[in-house]
Amino acid sequence: MGALHSLVRNESRTMKGLWLYVRGRQDGVDGDAVAVPYGANGKAIFVVMTVVSAVEAGLFWLIDFGLVFDVVLLVLGVYSVLLVFGVYAGTVVRPHVVSSREVRVRYSSFYDVRIPRENVAALRYAKESHDPLKAKPFRDETWLSHDNFYETNLVVELREPITMTRPLGRTETVRVVKFQADDPKAAVEAYQRLAVS
């Protein structure tokens, strides 16, 4: 899958996530599935980015480039505001999921890693900080989800390696997945409570 196709797919999912957010729905949380939120610490950043994008769109409207160019800039400005807020909305409507069938690690519209429960050797709490200059995302077949200030607090150890797709379409084979949740201990409790069906 090419990078351009992946970008279009991600933007489409972002807009769909915005629509789910407006409707107050979550994606993939059904049956015995337990939602595991992860975006609380990043909310302020998305609010600031959305406001900055809106102000930027307004400032361009104040400069007279001619009607056609002004309208194009306004449309692009509104789209950028929707896109930024859509990424945040995606973190709300697409939480990580723990169920009797799978453990699902997600980040907004960018990735969705589905791990069958039969392939999970362990899900445990382990708070770690990863220096972005030193960390290699797939070193030793470990995938670090770096979406919350380079911190993770949950580790999924796999019985067999899985192939996951990165946001721009490249695939990697991993044996360990490290990611972040707002309440990691509740995620581990849900995992232990839900037996494999």
**What's residue 60's pLDDT?**
74
Query: Distance between CA atoms of 85 and 80, rounded to whole angstroms?
Result: 9
Report whether 84 contacts 49 (CB < 8 A): yes
Report whether 76 contacts 164 (CB < 8 A): no
Quick one: 111 exposed, middle or buried, by C-beta within 10 A (0-12, 13-18, 19+)? middle
**What's residue 94's pLDDT?**
95
Of 93-97, 113-117, 132-136, which gets the smallest average pLDDT? Answer: 132-136
Query: Distance between CA atoms of 145 and 154, rounded to whole angstroms?
Result: 10
Tell me what the mean pLDDT of segment 139-156 comes to: 73
Higher pLDDT, 183 or 42: 183
- The pairing of strands 96-98 and 34-36 is antiparallel
**What's residue 159's pLDDT?**
95
Please determine, for residue 27, whether its predicted confidence score (pLDDT) is greater than 90.
yes
Please determine, for residue 168, whether its predicted confidence score (pLDDT) is greater than 90.
no
